[in-house]
Amino acid sequence: MAAITLNSGFKMPLVGLGVWRMDGKDVKNLLINAIKIGYRHFDCAAEYKNEAEVGEALAEAFQTGLVKREDLFITSKLWNSDHGHVLEACKDSMKKLRLDYLDLYLVHFPIATRHTGVGSCGSVKGVDGVLDIDTTISLETTWQAMEELVSKGLVRSIGISNFDIFLTRDCLAYSKVKPAVNQIETHPYFQRDCLVKFCQKHGIFITAHTPLGGAVANTEMFGSKSCLDDPVFKDLAEKYKKTVAQVVLRWGIQRNTVVIPKTSKPNRLEENFKVFDFELSKEDMDQIKSIDRKYRTNQPAIFWGIDLYA
């Protein structure tokens, strides 16, 4: 499948399946189906609390000969409460995923919070209702521990997630192993061209999380408006004889980002993967540019009592 080459030399498939908010009981069927359709990239995280189920599905896929380990690209992420325990947290994810290496391990958010036990992924708040942030661990210290994962052979590439331009610039300054990826929220209503350009200029690939703007899931969780309802996309979908989601994902690919849409619907797995048999014209790419609302749909502040993006 179509892939890009990271600054680490390893390839990352352009479309992946995100597994956040995927019910543990659905994971096995969805992953096996996805592999049959052609997905080779899975975006996981300790905090999604379904790594054990993902691991079970992967083990079955390997045992039955459906796919080989070396043909898959598996990402996991270090949760905020484990910044002081990077090696143990990574090993815990690998154990649950039943893998002896990860393709990519990301610092999930640029913030260390109170440790709650390796892999337990707590987000403890104080009596004031505000997230307990650990001010003793710098991102540089966390990154040094991430670099050790590469030298130990546990992880092929390391990266960051939800880092803005300033934090990314800082990471470039203190890193020996440069981040291969910055995974950020970006979609037609939140295009973030400056951050995307900054990262690409410095050899850091952008993975677009929330590439469909979170659709119904984020409307339900955060009250956000979905770009899938935008009339511009309805017209483009008609023009290209594709679904709105396919046009949105194609736009993501054509701006050189990797997209990791999540779906728990088997028919949508196929739909979201069929984005390589058409191309949006320059005029249509420009039109999509004009509908940017600079609108973040994923708002962890509702869980943390503090807006870390403020």
| Residue placing its CB nearer to ligand NDP in the complex, 119 or 261 | 261
Say how many C-beta atoms besides its own lie within 10 A of residue 24's C-beta.
14
Identify residues 198-237 at the interface with ligand NDP (CB under 6 A): 209-217, 228
| Residue placing its CB nearer to ligand NDP in the complex, 215 or 253 | 215
Nearest residue to ligand NDP, by Cβ distance, number only? 18
Show the beta-strand stretches assigned E in 9-94.
Answer: 11-13, 17-18, 41-43, 73-78
43 lines the binding site for ligand NDP (CB under 6 A): yes
192 lines the binding site for ligand NDP (CB under 6 A): no
Say how many C-beta atoms besides its own lie within 10 A of residue 216's C-beta.
12
Identify residues 246-285 at the interface with ligand NDP (CB under 6 A): 260-265, 268, 271-272
| Residue placing its CB nearer to ligand NDP in the complex, 21 or 91 | 21
Q: How is residue 195 written in tokens?
A: 């951050």
Q: What are phi and psi of 52, to 5 degrees?
A: -65, -40
Contact range with ligand NDP by CB under 6 A, out of 18-26, 129-137, 150-158, 188-196: 18-26
Distance CA 7, CA 25 (A): 36
Show the beta-strand stretches assigned E in the chain.
Answer: 3-5, 11-13, 17-18, 41-43, 73-78, 102-107, 155-161, 181-185, 205-209, 258-259
For residue 48, indicate whether it is catalytic. Answer: yes
93 lines the binding site for ligand NDP (CB under 6 A): no
162 lines the binding site for ligand NDP (CB under 6 A): yes
- Single out the residue of 123, 54, 42, 48 nearest to residue 82, CA to CA: 123
131 lines the binding site for ligand NDP (CB under 6 A): no
110 lines the binding site for ligand NDP (CB under 6 A): no
CA–centroid distance for 103 within its chain: 13
> Hey, which residues are catalytic here?
48
The contact set with ligand NDP (CB under 6 A) reads 18-21, 43, 108, 161-162, 183, 209-217, 228, 243, 245, 260-265, 268, 271-272, 298
